Amino acid sequence: MSQYFDLTRRSFLKSSAAAGVLVLGTYFAGAAPRVMAGVLAKPSESAKTANLFVALRPDGIVEITCHRSEMGQQIRTALAQIVADEMEASWDKIVVIQGKGDLKYGDQNTDGSRSIRYNMQRLREMGASVRYLMRQAAATRWNVPIDSCSAQQHLVTHSSGKTLTYAELVNDALSITPPELDKILLKKRSEWRYINTAMEHIDLKDIVKGKAIFAADVLEPKALIAVIVRPPVVGGKVKRFDAKAAKAIKGVVDVIEIPAPKGAPLFQPKGGIAIVANNTWAAIQGRRALSVTWDDGKNGDYNSEAFKASLLATVSSPQSSVREIGDAATILAKASDKLVADYYAPHLAQAPMEPPCATAMYYKDRVDVWAATQNPQADMATVGAMVGLPKEKINVQVTMLGGGFGRKSKPDFSAEAAYLSMKTGQAIRVQWTREDDIQHSFYHAVSAQHIEASLDKNGAIEAYLHRTAFSPIASTFQEGATAPGSFELRLGFTDNPINTPNMKLENGEAPAKARIGWMRSVSNIFHAFAIQSFIAEAAHKAGRDQKDYLLETIGPARIVDVTEQNAQYDNYGADKATYPLDIGRLRHVIEKAADMSGWGRKLPKGRGLGIAAHRSFLTYVATVVEVEVSDSGELKIIKSWASIDAGTVVNTDTVINQVQGGSIYGMTAAISEGITFDKGRVQQSNFHDYRVPRMSDSPLEIEVEIIPSEAPPAGVGEPATPVYAPALCNAIFAACGKRIRQLPIGDQLKA
Amino acid sequence: MITFTVNGETREFSGDPTTPILWYLRDELQLTGSKFGCGMAQCGACTVHVNGVAQRSCVLPVSAVSGSKITTIEGLSKDGDHPVQQAWIEHKVPQCGYCQCGQMMQAASLLASNPTPSDEEIVQGMSGNICRCGTYPRIHKAIKSAAKTMAGVEYFIPETEGEKA
Ligand code: FES
Ligand code: FES
């Protein structure tokens, strides 16, 4: 299958309108909710206009619009699986159209592991509506009751045996009123043929031939290339610059200053100087030749060592309460034998393999953008603000993303391209280099946590106090914000699964002296690291097996509602009756992963197993890691096992691939040096000093089991990430007795 | 004027000789299968074959390839059916896919020089290629299965095709 962009498709629809294309989701007949009723429901209440989700062409080809961004999670395939299954389409007649940014689709922010959760039901209804229309069209043609007609694989069959293809029925279906919602009969699970299978993803062959179109592969329009030098310090400005040497480079056509942002960072460009050239190499050369003097502004004092000390100081004293039950403070004040631990984790950069990139063409009354974006609607708003046009005038085509991990939901790069196109009157492609990506990201927050607990005579946690402090993402949206939004605390902190009569959770404030943003699984990473490490530390103190103690610590299978413990918790925006915090499911993945790993088996000296479990994005994951630590402190990850309960899943192979990849991504937190600042500047610049996992770091086997479930679908892309670092560090402790409380591991095993 | 071949076609280059081959392939020839990931030989996304051997095209100036035969992913096979590509499909290796052309070019070169690599040799041969999506376990398996299919089978290599022509 080749990629199709919305523009190509639009012209097709226009030209074939006369032939009659059955386009579903384009109209809402009368007041009664019909075919596309689901479209009107959450997440967008304003989606009252055309929704081009399914179009059945007269040649029988089914065009399915994917309005979410593809970044390796195979959402294009999964959405097609859902629609095609319910409509009984034959798979070789499916074409997936990449939807452009458009409010009519409702939410397009491909982030937070929620594409399937938000869309499965409405896409099933849509597919089932088409199936109904096909049966109804055939029934009318044959003048028989609809119940005597069944649809399978692009073919309607009457009980007498006669058949009509979907292609033959398109025209008839056009005059049939789509069924009301309650008339739509969804398939039973046992009838699914695509959903919950491991079918090959639709872009696989293009990728393997090198034909998939990523942002820098867009050849039309022919664009000039821009490479930008940005202020090294957030909030910094250009004081002066000398473009003479840069302009002397052959191929450089222009040097343009981009204005500094105002107010909160939002997704605004950082400003700086752009070198515009007629090829990438000339632009890179031009940037090298440019000399700029900066005014660093108030973040020029950002130093990671000093900041670390201040975060640790914050969590050493009482802070604002996030959740409380019982009286942990009093018990802990009296306790003579407490377990006390401070955990620290540095900033990280998402570092998707494809650095940010976008092409833009400015016209007076509109801008066309081609971007590797996770959220084209954010591009519409950000580009619109940058060039002074309403967001409806910004056409955003979404290319394939060479990884996103949260970086590409912040489209500063699209706004840069649009601004430069406005200034030059030419199509511009802004190419970020790896140095740009490492030094100008929206970073995963640096964090410190303090936990103390006392154990009762059986070794169980009787009182637990946990404080967290980190530079908040809230600061990206509200200038100077130092308190995290509740959306940040809910990620693994407020929903702590420890079952104890006395618990106090607190959060401290911290300024942000860099742009802070989300990275795959966000603050779940450091929260799960601290909690799951601490439980293993307590197990050790109690002289218990790590896995048994973990199960006992989270307690018996039950539904927990943390809002009953003086906490605010929005459960990832999901209804808590449909998606409760279910300790039974958490227990189940722990037991499963332990089982898979042969937990308890005898290991040679220097080897160890570690386990960690966590619920995030409404999904439950447990991971066991086996490591070997040599006498000289060399770490080798031998193998890991993961079990995941994500409720109903669409593509089982994708889930396995995401869990494997999410595990390795989670390894970054442990083995990378992280991102550090001095004088406000990022000290790393490329993969030689910002280390990410390589094959030599990775286990060659990551066994994954999906817990079969009929629960509603939950997240898949992120939940395997947070458990990895704590499972790894717990394994290291089991192997050599070294407890890692500060990430990255670095030289700590050598000391 | 610098002369070389790309996927069997003769090319002449008269621009800045320090231009890395990657940008010539992408910007001039519009062969966009080779990707830009780091620009300093750290990630392997830009891997091409020069006379059959994997090289990082982001740091290889055009001046260094005079008289050489360059193969990109677009030229690795006629129809995406090089044993490595087939193994990639069989094992459903790619996630986002951005690194994968470089991975396959590296793997094809590895297998050409060592048709029966051990587990450890695969790790060594492939650790210069980063996959941020974390497909390493699948890459490893795919290389092992490609090695099996390749044993004793001749396959399409543009540079030797070029010689025959
Ligand atoms: S782009 Fe050439 S090695 Fe990374
Ligand atoms: S598949 Fe995404 S970087 Fe390798």
DSSP secondary structure letter of residue A331: H
Atom nearest to B130 CA in ligand 1: 4
Spans of all domains in chain A: 34-208, 215-298+356-431, 304-349+442-750
pLDDT at B152: 60
Per domain, the residue ranges of chain B are 2-75, 83-150
**pLDDT in the model for residue A672:** 79
Whether omega for the bond prior to residue B117 falls within 30 degrees of 0, making it cis, is no
The tokens describing A370, both together, are: 């081609």
- Contact between A210 and B130 using a beta-carbon 8 Å cutoff: no
Write the pLDDT tens digit of every residue in A69-119: 999 999 999 999 999 999 999 999 999 989 999 887 888 999 999 999 988
According to CATH, the topology of domain A304-349+442-750 is Aldehyde Oxidoreductase; domain 4 (3.30.365)
Q: Look at phi and psi of residue A618 and say left if phi exceeds 0, alpha if psi is from -120 to 50, else beta.
A: left
| CA A643 – CA A699 distance, rounded (Å) | 16
**3.20.20.80, 3.30.365.10, 3.30.540.10, 2.60.120.260: which CATH number matches A215-298+356-431?**
3.30.365.10
B69-71 and B2-6 as β-strands: parallel, antiparallel, unpaired?
A: parallel
B96 lines ligand 2 (CB under 6 A): yes
The two structure tokens encoding residue A8 = 């190509």
Kindly determine whether residue B35 and residue A219, on different chains, have CB atoms separated by under 8 Å: no
- Tokens 């299965």 sit at which residue? B145
Cα dihedral A509, A511, A514, A518 in deg (nearest 10): 20
Q: Answer yes or no: do B32 and A216 touch at CB < 8 A.
A: yes
Q: Which residue of A has its CA nearest to B62?
A: A281
Q: How far apart are CA A347 and CA A278, in angstroms?
A: 36
A120 exposed, middle or buried (CB, 10 Å; 0-12, 13-18, 19+)?
buried
Dump pLDDT digits (tens) for A516-545.
999 999 999 999 999 999 999 999 999 999
pLDDT range class, residue A46, cuts 50, 70, 90: very low
* Ligand 2 atom closest to B97 (CA): 1
ipTM, two decimals: 0.94
Yes or no, beta carbons of B97 and A653 under 8 Å apart: no
B154 vs B33: CA distance, rounded Å: 24
Cα–Cα distance for residue pair A120/A38, rounded to 1 Å = 10
Going from the Cα of A181 to the center of ligand 1, the distance in angstroms, rounded, reads 52
> pLDDT higher for A35 or B55?
B55
Sign of CA dihedral B83, B88, B89, B90: positive
State whether A210 and B73 contact (CB < 8 Å). Answer: yes
- Options 3.30.365.10, 3.30.465.10, 3.40.50.300, 2.60.40.1730; CATH of A34-208: 3.30.365.10
What is the Cα–Cα distance from A456 to A500, expressed in whole angstroms?
A: 11
Checking phi first, is residue A481 left (phi over 0); if not, alpha (psi -120 to 50) or beta? Answer: beta
**SS3 at position A606:** coil
Neighbour tally for B95: CB within 10 Å: 29
Tell the burial category of A327 from Cβ atoms under 10 Å away from its Cβ (0-12, 13-18, 19+). Answer: middle
Omega within 30 of 0 (cis) for the link into A580: no
The nearest alpha carbon in chain B to A689 belongs to B42
CA distance A327 to A463: 8
Q: What is the pLDDT of residue A179?
A: 79
Distance CA A180, CA A36 (A): 9
Q: At residue A44, does pLDDT exceed 80?
A: no
| Ligand 1 centre distance from Cα of residue A252 (Å) | 23
Chain A residue with minimum CA distance to B133: A661
Inter-chain touch A403–B16, beta carbons under 8 Å: no
* CATH level 2 (architecture), domain B2-75: Roll (3.10)
* pLDDT, average across residues A687-697: 96
CA distance A154 to chain B (A): 27
Q: Which residues line ligand 1 (CB under 6 A)?
A: B 36-39, 41-46, 56, 58
Pocket probe mutation, ligand 1, options B23, B25, B43, max atoms within 8 Å of Cβ: B43
Sign of CA dihedral A405, A406, A409, A411: negative
Of the listed ligands, the closest to the CA of B40 is 1
Residues 6 or more apart whose CB falls under 8 angstroms from that of A726 comprise A528, A529, A531, A532, A533, A536, A610, A612
What's the pLDDT at A24? 55
Strand A461-470 vs strand A503-507: parallel, antiparallel, or unpaired? Answer: parallel
CA distance A267 to A261: 9
- CA–CA separation, A329 vs A405, rounded Å? 38
Superfamily of domain B83-150 in CATH is [2Fe-2S]-binding domain (1.10.150.120)
Those residues whose C-beta lies under 8 Å from the C-beta of residue A418, and which sit 6 or more positions away, are A360, A362, A367, A369, A383, A386, A387, A394
Residues in B closer than 8 angstroms to A694, CB to CB, are 127-130, 136
**Closest residue by Cα to residue B99 from A511, A413, A354:** A354
How many CA within 13 A on the CB side of residue A308? 16
Same fold, A34-208 and A215-298+356-431: yes
- Give distance in angstroms: CA of B102 to centre of ligand 1: 9
For residue B99, is pLDDT > 70?
Answer: yes
